[in-house]
C-alpha cells in the first residue's frame, strides 16, 4: 500500500511538473485562451465581443438538468456563456484535471476538495494568487467569513476561495416513547444515559415480551462522540463522517490533539463501561453507510448518534413510522460530565469545496473580473437566495419569511452555482427541515476543531495512522488492551506512524495563520 501511494505521488509530481512546462499547450481551449491573453498582455483591447465563455470543472454525481435555469439567468445578467464540466467520480475528476493542466487546457474555475489539493497545484505554480485582488472580493470575504478566508491561504497567499461551510447536524437521538413506556426521564448526564441504555436493553421497552433491543447504536467511534465530549475530548479519529471531523483544537490557550488530551484515558475508560454493560449494538464497529439508522428505524435500538435529517425528512420518517407509528424520536443535548460537547466541529472543513483559478487567467483581466463579479453577486442576499432557491413563483413561494419550494425546484440542479456556498441553516429550514431541530443542532456545544487548515506533511501516512488509531482505540474500549498501555499506544503512534511529524507541522501551519500562539 505504501508503494502504491509512493507511486501515485510520483506520477502526480510528474504530471504537475509537466503542467508547468506545458503552460503554452496546443489544445484548442488553450489556443483560444492564449491568443486572447496575448492581446491583453500587449495592451490591446480584448478581442472578444460576444459573451465571455467561462468553464467550471467539478465533481458531482448529480445530472445536469435539461433546462439549466441558473445558467440561463447568469448568462443574461452577466453576458456570459457558462459551461459546466461535470465528472461523477472524484478520482476520475482528479485524473482528468491533471491531464488538462498538463496539456495547458485550463478550466476557468476548478472546484477542488480541500487545502491539500490546493497546495499540490499552488506549489507547481498552476494557481492564481488572489491576494492582489482582495479589494475586488469584499462581498465574497464578508459572506464566507474569516475562517473560510484563512482556509484558502497557502504560504501567506490566497490561492482558493473556500465556500461558506455547512453546519453541524449530529447528536444523540432517543426514543421518547420508550422513555415514557419505562417511566424514565430524558437523560441529561453520562450516568443517566448509561442507566437509560441499560433499561432499553433489559426492560423490554417495545413491549413485545422479548429481549431483542439494545440501548445504543451508531457507526464506529462516532457512536461515542458525546461521551468523549463529556470529558472535554474532541473526535478521536479523522476517519469518520464529515459532520464531526477534527482532533486538533485549542484548550486553555494551547493547541491540543485528542489523543494527547489529558481527558482521553478517562473517556476511553468510561466508554468501556457501556460496552461492559452489554448495552451497545454488538455490530457497532461493523456498521457502515446507514446500517445503524436501519436498526434504529426497525426498533432494535433506542439511542443513536446520527444527523437530524435522518429523523426529520419525510422519506426517512415514513420508513420508521411504517414500522412503528407510535415511535417518537427526539434530539438529545450532549450528556453532561466533566464537560459537555457533542464532539468537535471542524470550522475550516470546506463542506462544499474550494474554488481555484489557473494562473494564466491573470492575463485575461476581463474574464477574471467577470468571475469575481459573479462570485460577489452570489455572496449577496439577492444572489445567494437565487442560487439556493431559484425564481419566486416558479421554484418557491414565500410564506412570511419562509421559502416553500415547489416540485420543480427539486428537479433542477442549483448547487454548482452556489459558488461561494450558502447560508446552511436558512437553507435547511426553508427546504423543510424542522426549525427547532436545525437550531438545536447548530447551537449544541462542540469543540472548535482546526484540522482542515492543516496540509498533511511529507512523511505522514494519514490513512495508515488513522487505521491504527481506530483499531487500537477499539481494543481499549472492548477491554482487549489495558488502558495502562495507552502511553505505549501514543509512543507507537508518534514514532512508527509519524503522528509527531503531523503535530509539529500542524502547530507551525496554524501559527502562521495566526490561529494558535
**What is residue 477's three-state secondary structure?**
helix
Model-wide pTM > 0.95: no
Supply the pLDDT for residue 33. Answer: 43
**Residue 488 grid coordinates:** 505505549
Domain edges within the chain: 2-165+350-388, 168-346+419-517
What's the CA gap between 165 and 348, in Å, rounded? 8
Nearest to 162 by CA among 116, 113, 210: 113
Please identify which residue in the block is written with the cell numbers 457502515. 288
Please identify which residue in the block is written with the cell numbers 440501548. 215
What's the CA gap between 106 and 85, in Å, rounded? 12
* Domain formed by 168-346+419-517, architecture: 3-Layer(aba) Sandwich (3.40)
**Residue 65 grid coordinates:** 438538468
Supply the pLDDT for residue 270. Answer: 98
Summarize pLDDT for 159-206 with one digit per residue, the tens: 999 998 788 899 999 999 999 999 999 999 999 999 999 999 999 999
**What is residue 193's three-state secondary structure?**
helix
* Alpha-carbon separation of residue 114 from 88, 384, 439, 504 (angstroms): 17, 22, 27, 20
The domain 2-165+350-388 belongs to what CATH superfamily? Periplasmic binding protein-like II (3.40.190.10)
Supply the pLDDT for residue 49. Answer: 67
Supply the pLDDT for residue 42. Answer: 36
Supply the pLDDT for residue 431. Answer: 83
What's the CA gap between 498 and 513, in Å, rounded? 23
Give me the average pLDDT of each 10-residue run along the chain (517 residues).
38 40 36 41 49 94 80 96 93 95 95 92 97 97 92 94 89 97 98 98 95 94 94 67 61 92 96 98 88 92 93 84 90 97 83 90 96 98 94 90 84 86 89 92 93 90 89 95 98 96 95 88
Supply the pLDDT for residue 40. Answer: 44
Q: Say whether 168-346+419-517 and 2-165+350-388 share the same fold.
A: yes
Summarize pLDDT for 482-511 with one digit per residue, the tens: 999 999 999 999 999 999 999 999 999 999
Please identify which residue in the block is written with the cell numbers 491533471. 98
CA angle 125, 127, 133 (to 5 degrees): 120
Q: Which long-range contacts (CB under 8 A, 24 or more apart) does 247-251 make?
A: 247/344, 247/449, 247/451, 248/449, 248/450, 248/451, 248/454, 248/506, 248/510, 249/344, 249/447, 249/448, 249/449, 249/450, 250/448, 250/450, 250/515, 250/516, 251/447
Angular region, 207: left φ>0, alpha ψ -120 to 50, beta rest = left
Q: How many CB atoms lie within 10 A of CB 325?
A: 7
Amino acid at each position: 500500500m505504501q508503494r502504491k501511494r509512493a507511486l501515485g505521488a510520483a506520477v502526480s509530481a510528474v504530471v504537475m511538473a509537466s503542467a508547468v512546462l506545458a503552460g503554452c499547450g496546443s489544445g484548442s481551449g488553450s489556443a483560444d485562451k492564449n491568443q486572447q491573453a496575448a492581446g491583453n498582455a500587449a495592451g490591446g483591447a480584448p478581442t472578444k465581443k460576444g459573451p465571455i465563455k467561462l468553464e467550471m470543472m467539478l465533481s458531482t454525481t448529480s445530472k445536469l438538468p435539461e433546462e439549466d435555469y441558473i445558467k440561463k439567468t447568469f448568462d443574461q445578467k452577466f453576458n456570459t456563456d457558462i459551461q459546466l464540466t461535470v465528472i461523477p467520480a472524484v478520482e476520475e475528476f482528479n485524473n482528468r484535471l491533471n491531464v488538462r493542466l498538463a496539456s495547458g487546457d485550463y478550466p476557468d474555475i476548478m472546484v477542488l476538495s480541500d487545502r491539500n489539493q490546493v497546495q499540490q497545484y499552488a506549489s507547481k505554480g498552476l494557481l492564481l494568487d488572489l491576494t492582489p485582488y482582495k479589494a475586488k472580493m469584499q462581498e465574497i470575504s464578508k459572506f464566507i467569513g474569516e475562517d473560510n478566508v484563512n482556509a484558502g491561504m497557502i504560504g501567506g497567499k490566497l490561492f482558493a476561495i473556500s465556500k461558506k461551510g455547512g453546519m453541524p447536524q449530529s447528536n444523540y437521538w432517543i426514543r421518547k416513547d420508550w422513555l415514557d413506556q419505562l417511566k424514565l426521564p430524558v437523560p441529561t448526564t453520562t450516568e443517566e444515559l448509561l442507566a437509560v441504555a441499560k433499561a432499553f436493553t433489559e426492560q423490554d421497552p417495545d413491549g413485545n415480551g422479548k429481549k431483542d433491543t439494545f440501548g445504543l447504536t451508531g457507526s464506529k467511534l462516532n457512536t461515542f462522540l458525546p461521551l468523549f465530549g463529556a470529558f472535554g475530548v474532541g473526535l478521536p479519529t479523522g476517519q469518520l463522517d464529515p459532520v464531526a471531523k477534527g482532533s486538533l483544537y485549542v484548550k486553555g490557550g494551547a493547541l491540543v490533539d485528542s489523543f494527547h488530551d489529558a481527558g482521553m484515558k478517562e473517556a476511553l475508560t468510561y466508554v468501556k463501561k457501556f460496552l461492559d454493560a452489554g448495552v451497545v449494538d454488538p455490530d457497532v464497529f461493523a456498521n457502515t453507510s446507514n446500517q445503524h439508522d436501519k436498526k434504529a428505524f426497525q426498533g432494535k435500538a433506542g439511542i443513536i448518534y446520527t444527523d437530524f435529517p435522518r429523523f426529520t425528512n419525510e422519506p426517512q420518517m415514513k420508513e420508521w413510522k411504517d414500522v412503528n407509528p407510535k415511535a417518537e424520536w427526539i434530539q438529545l443535548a450532549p450528556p453532561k460530565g466533566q464537560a459537555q460537547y457533542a464532539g468537535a466541529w471542524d470550522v475550516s472543513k470546506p463542506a462544499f469545496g474550494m474554488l481555484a483559478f489557473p494562473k494564466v487567467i491573470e492575463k485575461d483581466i476581463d474574464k477574471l473580473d467577470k468571475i469575481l463579479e459573479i462570485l460577489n453577486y452570489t455572496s449577496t442576499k439577492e444572489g445567494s437566495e437565487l442560487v439556493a432557491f431559484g425564481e419566486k413563483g416558479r421554484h418557491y413561494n414565500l410564506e412570511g419569511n419562509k421559502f416553500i419550494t415547489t416540485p420543480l425546484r427539486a428537479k433542477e440542479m442549483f448547487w454548482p452555482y452556489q459558488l461561494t456556498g450558502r447560508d446552511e441553516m436558512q437553507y435547511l429550514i426553508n427546504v423543510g427541515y424542522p426549525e427547532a431541530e436545525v437550531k438545536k443542532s447548530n447551537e449544541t456545544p462542540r469543540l472548535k476543531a482546526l484540522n482542515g487548515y492543516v496540509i498533511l506533511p511529507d512523511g505522514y501516512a494519514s490513512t495508515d495512522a488513522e487505521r491504527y488509531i481506530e483499531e487500537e482505540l477499539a481494543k481499549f474500549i472492548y477491554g482487549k488492551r489495558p488502558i495502562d498501555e495507552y502511553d505505549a499506544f501514543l509512543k507507537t503512534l508518534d514514532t512508527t506512524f509519524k503522528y509527531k511529524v503531523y503535530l509539529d507541522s500542524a502547530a507551525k501551519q496554524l501559527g502562521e495563520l495566526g490561529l494558535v500562539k
